[in-house]
Amino acid sequence: MNIIDIINKTKRQTELSADEIAWVVDGYTAGEIPDAQMAAWLMAVRLRGLTERETSALTLAMLRSGSYVDLSGISAVTVDKHSTGGVGDKTTLIVGPAVAACGAAVPKMSGRGLGHTGGTIDKLESIPGFRTELEHEEFISVVEKNGFAVTSQSRELCPADKRIYALRDITGTVDSIPLICSSIMSKKLAVGADCLLLDVKYGSGAFMKTSDEARRLAGLMESTGRAAGKRVRADVTDMNAPLGSCIGNALEVREAIEVLQGRISSGQLYDTCVQLGADMLELAEQGDNDSVNRIRKAIADGSALEVLRRTIEMQGGDPGVCDDTSLLPQARCSYTLRASSDIRVNSVDCEELGMVSLILGAGRLSSGDRLDPTAGIVMECAPGDRLAAGAPILTLYSSLCSDFSEAAVRALNAIDRSACRIAAY
């Protein structure tokens, strides 16, 4: 085979065989195809696309480049969830325990965040003592005993994806639906759960900006997973506003615990988690027409919170945070933005708020950057709210940043607001 021929075929939208795609992936992973030629092929894919069959072949080739996770030691049906990411997305911390409390097993391998906020691993590491690097046997043991565990992703999983993604990142080829699909699905298939729920987000705070783009990606991911023999479902969810009121690692853990404590029982975060949890139960064939109510009950009766408490304890963390969230790291500095006059909040630029949280220390620009677990934003209002002069709009938190001037200006500019009159009583 010849890489130039393969590049030209993709440029002309001539379908590649599974063997040709495997040859490209194996050759690049082994260092036999140089970056320049691989970049040319990736750009051809970005501009011309891949067929559904080519995307499945690319996913499987990347999957086979590394090791697999063996979940055979878990007796219950295993169901995984993956989110394409967003601002304030702490659903795993709520959905995982709730689904486990209903009888399914949720073995979660997660990564660290790169960008405006931390990943699930970063959030959990804000819990004092919590260990996210578990040996395989310990990970399986926690899931078997408790139904839910979270560990950091093995370096041996999908090494091809790591090399290819690094090249995509510097060549302007990240925003390709077939490449996004193969990157996500190769890693999720390597984890080896029986079922997989995909939470594909769209909006200002998501990678996919429109619902049409998100539905295209969701459909491709579903078909790719099914072609690999998995039970897969994709939900398309809105990320035009932060999911919940908190953005930032310890802040998001606090909010997730408040949901499981029953203190938050309505709103977009709660409703999204209930629906995701119900869909996971149905995928795992642990649900019925009452799946939504089963998830609600697991939250309301405290059984989901108990699963999280045991997970934290079994992974070395302080389970006391489930009763007292003040045990989580607390920011040394804060600043509240207030309305200068009566206003109506029309909308928020979710992505920009994510960047503000990055400035405060909640995210990282490169893998070696240090996170501030206390940093982030608490939204004091939501789109559609009317605020009187002096009312809080949002509060900024940080332990590394004491000068909030840049963050405050950007945060205020991220709030689309208009003047209104609030009647006095």
Band the pLDDT of 84: cuts 50, 70, 90: confident
* Average model confidence (pLDDT) across the chain: 93
- List the domain boundaries for the chain: 3-63, 79-325, 330-419
Q: Are 295 and 281 contacting, i.e. CB atoms less than 8 angstroms apart?
A: yes
User: Which residue among the candidates 46, 168, 188, 254 is catalytic per the annotation?
Assistant: 168
User: Which residue among the candidates 83, 154, 176, 183 is catalytic per the annotation?
Assistant: 183
Q: Which amino acid, one-letter code, is at 320?
A: G
How far apart are the C-alpha atoms of 9 and 26, rounded to whole Å? Answer: 18
Q: Which amino acid, one-letter code, is at 315?
A: Q
Sheet containing strand 231-238, strands side by side: 79-83, 195-202, 231-238
Question: Rounded mean pLDDT of 199-217?
Answer: 91
116 counts as catalytic:
no
Residue 188 has pLDDT above 80, yes or no: yes
- Structure confidence at residue 370 (pLDDT): 83
288 counts as catalytic:
no
CA torsion 38-39-44-49 (nearest 10°) is 80
Residue 85 has pLDDT above 90, yes or no: no
Q: Are 120 and 93 contacting, i.e. CB atoms less than 8 angstroms apart?
A: yes
The percent of residues in the chain predicted with pLDDT above 90, rounded, is: 80
Tens digits of residue pLDDT in 222-250:
999 999 999 999 999 999 889 999 999 99
- pTM for this structure? 0.90
46 counts as catalytic:
no
Question: Rounded mean pLDDT of 265-293?
Answer: 91
User: Which residue among the candidates 80, 89, 122, 161 is catalytic per the annotation?
Assistant: 161
Residue 304 has pLDDT above 60, yes or no: yes
Q: Which fold has domain 330-419?
A: Aldehyde Oxidoreductase; domain 3 (3.90.1170)
- Structure confidence at residue 424 (pLDDT): 60
- Structure confidence at residue 349 (pLDDT): 94
User: Which residue among the candidates 82, 123, 294, 344 is catalytic per the annotation?
Assistant: 82
How far apart are the C-alpha atoms of 396 and 336, rounded to whole Å? Answer: 6
Residue 340 has pLDDT above 60, yes or no: yes
- Structure confidence at residue 287 (pLDDT): 66
Q: Which fold has domain 79-325?
A: Pyrimidine Nucleoside Phosphorylase; Chain A, domain 2 (3.40.1030)
Domain 3-63 is classified in which CATH homologous superfamily?
Answer: Transferase, Pyrimidine Nucleoside Phosphorylase; Chain C (1.20.970.10)
User: Which residue among the candidates 81, 90, 123, 187 is catalytic per the annotation?
Assistant: 187
187 counts as catalytic:
yes
90 counts as catalytic:
no
Tens digits of residue pLDDT in 137-168:
999 999 999 999 999 877 788 999 989 988 99
H-helix or E-strand spanning residue 214: helix 211-227
Tens digits of residue pLDDT in 91-135:
999 999 999 999 999 999 887 765 666 689 999 999 999 999 999
Answer yes or no: same fold for 3-63 and 79-325. Answer: no
- Structure confidence at residue 357 (pLDDT): 93
- Structure confidence at residue 115 (pLDDT): 62
Instruction: Decide which of 152 and 59 is more confident.
Output: 59
Burial environment of residue 143 by CB neighbours within 10 A (0 to 12, 13 to 18, 19 or more): buried
- Structure confidence at residue 117 (pLDDT): 64
Residue 174 has pLDDT above 90, yes or no: no
Burial environment of residue 357 by CB neighbours within 10 A (0 to 12, 13 to 18, 19 or more): buried
Residue 258 has pLDDT above 90, yes or no: yes
- Structure confidence at residue 402 (pLDDT): 84
Q: Which amino acid, one-letter code, is at 19?
A: D
